[in-house]
Amino acid sequence: MRAVKSKNTAPEILARKAAHRLGFRFRVHGSQLPGRPDIVLPKHRTVIFVHGCFWHAHNGCRKSSLPKSNVAFWKEKIERNRLRDRRTYASLKKLGWRVVILWQCEIGNLDAALVRLSDEMPSLRRKE
């Protein structure tokens, strides 16, 4: 599992490309904010997390199934991730930030990422 990246993953890069194409200017990996969001839109007080379906247990997604071996370990690990996510979202909302979650399975290509991001953020779309 050491080879699994936590930053600059393919879905995260797709989300960044989509946000940029939609006209948003952003910061990456906001270290000053709880949870170090993948994308930070300071002007709009919005943060975007790009979650891997397996690591954050995306409900109903085929990519989120547990491994067949060491099941107890993985259940506990995934549950800790979900608990940490909930705390992070609550902290950010308390600080006045809007939280957007993009799932790996939802943004498989740039077109899907553009659609998903623009659907999620209609009030933030850049005026042409």
Which domains are delineated in the chain? 10-124 (3.40.960.10)
The encoded tokens of residue 101 equal 């979650």
- Residue owning tokens 């891997």: 52
pLDDT per residue rounded down to tens, the chain (128 residues): 555 666 788 899 999 999 999 999 999 988 899 999 999 999 999 999 999 999 898 998 888 888 899 999 999 999 999 999 999 999 999 999 999 999 999 888 998 888 888 888 766 555 44
Q: Parallel, antiparallel, or unpaired for β 27-28 and 39-41?
A: antiparallel
**DSSP codes of every residue in 41-92:** EGGGTEEEEEE-TTTTT-TT-GGGPPPSSSHHHHHHHHHHHHHHHHHHHHHH
Contact 92, 100 (CB under 8 A): no
Prediction pTM value: 0.87
